[in-house]
């Protein structure tokens, strides 16, 4: 019984936190962008670019923190490109986002092959070039205590600092968005930009600021993917649709930080169970193909999010370029 509890409850919960961390950060990034009225389907490409920049810079410099700064720089640059196309030139936000996704998918492989000559991958990161796990005080000593011990020692302890940073950013994002003047203006720009403009606040400036915040959060997410998780290197297409799943979780959470985080937990938990089911013999069925198991969390996430989403109202001005009446 204890073995079942540990293998099928504790370990999946531990994996859930690791797997949902980049999703939580991307969902928060999408929330700032879309609350300001800018659809950011480019999250997938930005996440991939950040993972590559973080792994490459961390390998060259030997510092995971420099890798994170490089990732943030790359994603802010892509955010500004998205803003230049959609805010300044009022282009279609979906088209711009998809163009960035396609551009990054190809560029990361080409640069990876040119710089590291490992088929698009970056070298394995060692030592300070990756974020090591942090074991909480007494984590090993309390493991024998029923229920509480494994939760404290295995689920909560033993993660990289980026994971703890990600979950600390959830209440901070809520506070910024719903309890500060900046957040109030940001939400107003996404609901009624004309009224905000009439009040003397620059709609364009607020939307660019939202994209900067989006870039910072996506950069942290990408650096966790390649320098803070179980895989300490960049692998082509390692984002694997996480940017799109984060957007789905954001809609599920009705553009609010905490509900969006639980949507990310759902995908992380399903993916954790899918990993544990690989190679397991099921009575009367046998071993299920790995490809099918890998597909299950994505399908179930979409079905469950669609089923439980209920009535969700997007910001009124999201996806609509702002044009001043006098222009």
Whether 53 and 222 have beta carbons less than 8 Å apart is answered as: yes
Rounded to whole angstroms, the Cα distance separating 182 from 207 reads: 11
Residue 56 lies in a domain: yes
What is residue 261's predicted lDDT score, i.e. its pLDDT?
94
Per-residue pLDDT of the chain (327 residues; tens, 9 = 90+): 667 777 788 899 999 999 999 999 999 999 999 999 999 999 999 999 999 999 999 999 999 999 999 999 999 999 999 999 999 999 999 999 999 999 999 999 999 999 998 888 999 999 999 998 898 888 888 888 888 888 888 889 989 999 999 999 999 999 999 999 999 999 999 999 999 999 989 999 999 999 999 999 999 999 999 998 778 899 999 998 899 989 988 988 889 999 999 989 988 888 888 888 877 776 666 777 777 777 877 777 777 666 666 667 788 988 888 887 655
- DSSP result, 34-101: HHTT---TTHHHHHHHHHHHHHHHHHHHS-HHHHHHHHHHHHHHHHHHHHIIIIIS---HHHHHHHHH
Task: Report H helices in the chain.
Answer: 2-5, 11-35, 43-61, 64-83, 93-116, 148-150, 161-179, 181-191, 193-198, 203-223, 242-252, 257-277, 290-308
| 3 state SS of 256 | coil
Total count of domains within the chain: 1
Rounded to whole angstroms, the Cα distance separating 318 from 39 reads: 6
Task: Report H helices in 180-202.
Answer: 181-191, 193-198
Residue 313 lies in a domain: no
Residue 317 lies in a domain: no
Whether 175 and 239 have beta carbons less than 8 Å apart is answered as: no
Angstrom CA distances, 118 to 110, 111, 192, 234, 236, stand at 11, 11, 50, 11, 11
Rounded to whole angstroms, the Cα distance separating 196 from 90 reads: 18
Residue 321 lies in a domain: no
159 sits in which H/E element: strand 159-160
Residue 61 lies in a domain: yes
Residue 327 lies in a domain: no
Whether 25 and 166 have beta carbons less than 8 Å apart is answered as: yes
Query: What is the domain-level CATH number for residue 10?
Result: 1.10.3470
Residue 257 lies in a domain: yes
Domain housing 46 = 1-308
Whether 206 and 56 have beta carbons less than 8 Å apart is answered as: no
In our burial notation (b when 16+ CB lie closer than 10 A, e otherwise), range 68-87 reads: bbbbbbbbbebbbbbbebbb
Nearest to 190 by CA among 76, 29, 33, 42: 33
Nearest to 268 by CA among 76, 72, 13, 73: 13
Rounded to whole angstroms, the Cα distance separating 97 from 278 reads: 34
Query: Within 10 A of 208 (CB to CB), how many other CB atoms are there?
Result: 18
- What pTM was computed for the model? 0.93
What is residue 180's predicted lDDT score, i.e. its pLDDT?
96
Structure-block tokens of residue 142? 């309390």
| 3 state SS of 129 | helix
Structure-block tokens of residue 56? 């490459």
Residue 29 lies in a domain: yes
Rounded to whole angstroms, the Cα distance separating 113 from 106 reads: 11
The residue whose two tokens read 């650096």 is 223
């Amino acid at each position: 019984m204890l073995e079942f509890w540990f293998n099928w409850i504790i370990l999946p919960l531990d994996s859930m936190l690791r797997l949902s961390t980049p999703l939580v950060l991307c969902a928060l990034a999408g929330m700032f962008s879309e609350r300001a009225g800018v659809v950011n389907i480019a999250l997938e490409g930005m996440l991939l670019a950040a993972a590559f920049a973080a792994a490459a810079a961390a390998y060259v410099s030997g510092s995971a923190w420099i890798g994170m700064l490089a990732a943030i720089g790359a994603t802010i640059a892509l955010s500004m490109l998205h803003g230049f196309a959609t805010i300044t030139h009022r282009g279609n936000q979906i088209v711009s986002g998809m163009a960035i996704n396609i551009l990054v998918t190809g560029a990361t492989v080409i640069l990876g092959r040119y710089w590291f000559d490992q088929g698009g991958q970056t070298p394995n990161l060692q030592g300070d070039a990756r974020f090591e796990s942090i074991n909480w005080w007494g984590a090993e000593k309390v493991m024998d205590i029923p229920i509480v011990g494994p939760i404290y020692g295995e689920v909560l302890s033993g993660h990289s600092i980026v994971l703890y940073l990600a979950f600390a950013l959830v209440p901070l994002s809520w506070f910024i968005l719903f309890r500060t003047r900046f957040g109030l203006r940001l939400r107003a720009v996404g609901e009624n930009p004309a009224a905000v403009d009439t009040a003397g606040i620059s709609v364009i400036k607020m939307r660019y600021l939202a994209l900067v915040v989006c870039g910072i959060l996506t950069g942290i997410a990408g650096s966790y993917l390649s320098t803070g998780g179980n895989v300490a290197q960049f692998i082509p297409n390692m984002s694997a649709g996480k940017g799109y799943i984060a957007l789905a979780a954001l809609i599920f959470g009705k553009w609010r930080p905490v509900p969006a985080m639980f949507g990310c937990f759902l995908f992380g938990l399903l993916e954790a169970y899918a990993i544990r089911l690989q190679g397991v013999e099921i009575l009367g069925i046998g071993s299920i193909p790995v490809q099918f198991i890998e597909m299950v969390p994505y399908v179930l996430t979409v079905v469950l999010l669609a089923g439980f989403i209920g009535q969700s109202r997007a910001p009124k001005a999201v996806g609509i370029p702002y044009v001043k009446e006098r222009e």
